[in-house]
Amino acid sequence: MEPQENQRSSKGGRPKKTVKRNYALTVKCNIIERKVIERKAKDAGLTVSEYLRDSGLAGKIDRQKKPVPTEILEYKGTLNHLAANFNQVTRKINSNQLLLEGDVSILFKAPIEIKKHIENVEKYFQ
């Protein structure tokens, strides 16, 4: 018998990948989250790794923290200012100090301003 000549230049088998993915990324989740991810990957016709990689690289994530509108920040500042004024006046009252004319005007104007801001907040959320 003659030795057979190998007509192929390669060994055969699976072709080499051009981009090797040799780093593992571990994700912690509960059993329900795992099943949902596995189901979504299956529905998309992907492995779990492909699905997570694609959604992580190209997908958009809804941020849990939503930016606060500037109007609300302004109201927060105004309410903090009113609270500071109230705090100063009540400290004077509690320490038996005499109230100045400005302190008395703060006490009378504050409920009106608070009601105005409450109305504005209600309008904002309607």
Question: What are the tens digits of pLDDT across the range 18-48?
Answer: 888 888 889 899 999 999 999 988 888 889 9
Map residue 66 onto helix, strand or coil: coil
Instruction: Give the confidence band of 5 by pLDDT, cuts at 50, 70, 90.
Output: low
**What six digits make up the tokens of 95?**
């320490």
What confidence score (pLDDT) does residue 48 get? Answer: 92
**What six digits make up the tokens of 6?**
């190998």
Query: What does the radius of gyration of the chain's CA atoms come to, in whole angstroms?
Result: 34
Domain ranges of the chain: 23-61, 70-124
| pLDDT above 70 coverage of the chain, percent | 86
pTM of the model as a whole: 0.39
- Using the Cα atoms of residue 93, residue 96, residue 102 and residue 104 in order, give the sign of their dihedral: positive
**What six digits make up the tokens of 121?**
């907040």
